[in-house]
Structure 1
């Protein structure tokens, strides 16, 4: 576990987890989409600066232990990411090489080109709050299917627990950087 996960988990009031909406949709037999949404008290441009500083993400995103830039054959954005989590006496680690496509300042699409899943793709969306331009709605959506047989219920449960913490960690980081 990285030091960022310890910080966010120790300082996060449990009621804040309720501010994150999370929902799951079954796409087919072994493919799910999990989505989350959080309002952040900063402009989309400020949130964008934090979530596109990919190399710094492991400093504050729990269970993300590595995010390293790799060469891209077409001058795009490619990163190797490694996540690790232990739960219920079971440790799980996964590696993905992901290509990112940025549509400043509102959307980042990503798709695995190599890794430990059959499917791993999704997007970040940043929307200005309708009532206050200094607030943003941060949306995260991930389609995922395991490459090897594994209990999909376990994977869904872990993602459902981790996404609120991850989005709140981003919100906290934006506040630290811009306050």
Structure 2
């Protein structure tokens, strides 16, 4: 609950404001620097819709852009999605994002990843990842249930971890008449850890962009990371 302000508090507050002028200037410059570092012309307007549904955005993707959008709801649940076009077939891309036990050597910011159990097309995946910027460093854990529909779609749902909400899906859509695939990742996220909203939002967009572009690089270069690839699985890295 906000502290009630009394008239006696005002002189002291004004005094601190004057003495902290240089510090406020430094802080303002730092915030502007962070905003500049995370600004990107290809970021889509905040929307809950799948970017792949828009023909204009498909053209941007085919032109090499990575599109990421984020919408923060009133209940602090974040809707985030990202899309990319990869000059590779869905089966190839699927094999890369399914290498659970070697993700720490393949995908950015994944520290540990392993399959805990599996039953047909449903797998339980345990992951530890890290993220952050400048003075904000975050390490988080997820235990997720992944349901796979090879090689088109896979969905994930949080069972336990450092989030109140973490659910979403990967979608792989072949481009008509081309040896390429539209790849999208979307999720609803509400972490239990705290950080300034503008930093958290910028970091999530950056991390998703890095993830998608790493998958594109691996797919188009023919590399699969440091370990063997396991087909028909899924990834919940965020």
TM-score (norm 1): 0.82
1:13-162 pair list within 5 angstroms: 19-71=65-117, 76-132=122-178, 134-162=179-207
The CA deviation at 1:173 is: 1.3
**Structure with the higher strand share, 1 or 2:** 1
Specify the alignment match of 1:7 in structure 2.
none
Q: Using a 3 Å threshold, how does the CA distance of structure 1 residues 16 and 172 change in structure 2: closer, same or farther?
A: farther
The CA deviation at 1:26 is: 3.0
SS class of match (1:113): strand
Tell me if the contact between 2:146 and 2:156 (Cα under 8 Å) persists in the aligned partners. Answer: yes
Distance 1:56 1:136 in 2: 23
The CA deviation at 1:32 is: 0.9
Tell me if the contact between 1:46 and 1:178 (Cα under 8 Å) persists in the aligned partners. Answer: no
Tell me if the contact between 1:84 and 1:92 (Cα under 8 Å) persists in the aligned partners. Answer: yes
SS class of match (1:82): strand
SS class of match (1:30): coil
Distance 2:81 2:107 in 1: 17
Point out which structure has higher relative CO (alpha carbons under 8 A, 6+ apart). 1
Specify the alignment match of 1:6 in structure 2.
none
SS class of match (1:71): strand
1:63-88 per-position Cα deviation (integer Å, ceiling 9, x unaligned):
1111111135x663011111112412
1:3-54 per-position Cα deviation (integer Å, ceiling 9, x unaligned):
xxxxxxxxxxx99997100011234421011100000000111111111122
* Structure 1: runs of 5 or more not aligned: 1-13
Distance 1:115 1:107 in 2: 23
Q: Using a 3 Å threshold, how does the CA distance of structure 1 residues 15 and 42 change in structure 2: closer, same or farther?
A: farther
1:140-164 per-position Cα deviation (integer Å, ceiling 9, x unaligned):
0121012244433322110111111
TM-score (norm 2): 0.63
* Structure 2: runs of 5 or more not aligned: 1-39, 44-63, 225-238
The CA deviation at 1:102 is: 0.4
